[in-house]
């Protein structure tokens, strides 16, 4: 139901250019957070590459990192390889990854 309401508001925002940019940005970020939560909750993947998450949400690295923190994710502590992110509730805070 929330998805339908968000879709309707985004459609209205395209039709009514007077809708404040802040509201449109907030709606888009809400949808992006939903996408991030779904990707990070997938049982097949405990960790996800930042590049994958950026592509899926259409965000820059900085925007994506901010949204990831807002949804309760953290970056991997590993220094080698691509930047990886996981939900704290799934990966914890430990250094064993």
* 21 confidence band (pLDDT: 50, 70, 90): confident
**φ, ψ at 24 (rounded to 5°):** -60, -45
- Determine the Cα–Cα distance for residues 24 and 20; give it in Å rounded to an integer: 7
Query: 97 lies in a domain?
Result: no
Condensed to tens digits (0 to 9), the pLDDT of residues 45-96 reads: 999 999 999 999 999 999 999 999 999 999 998 878 889 999 999 999 875 5
pLDDT tens, residue by residue, 28-45: 999 999 999 999 999 999
Tell me the Cα Rg of the chain. Answer: 15
CATH number at 70 reads 1.10.10.10
Domain hosting 8: range is 2-91
58 close to 28: Cβ distance less than 8 angstroms: no
pTM: 0.76
For residue 65, being part of any structural domain is answered with yes
What phi, psi does 77 have (nearest 5°)? Answer: -85, -5
């Amino acid at each position: 139901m929330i998805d339908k309401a968000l879709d309707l508001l985004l459609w209205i925002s395209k039709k009514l250019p007077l809708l404040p940019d802040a509201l449109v940005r907030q709606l888009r970020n809400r949808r992006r957070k939903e996408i991030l939560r779904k990707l990070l909750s997938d049982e097949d993947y405990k960790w996800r590459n930042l590049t994958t998450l950026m592509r899926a949400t259409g965000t820059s690295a900085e925007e994506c990192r901010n949204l990831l923190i807002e949804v309760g994710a953290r970056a991997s502590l590993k220094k080698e390889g691509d930047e990886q992110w996981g939900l704290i509730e799934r990966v914890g805070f430990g250094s064993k990854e």
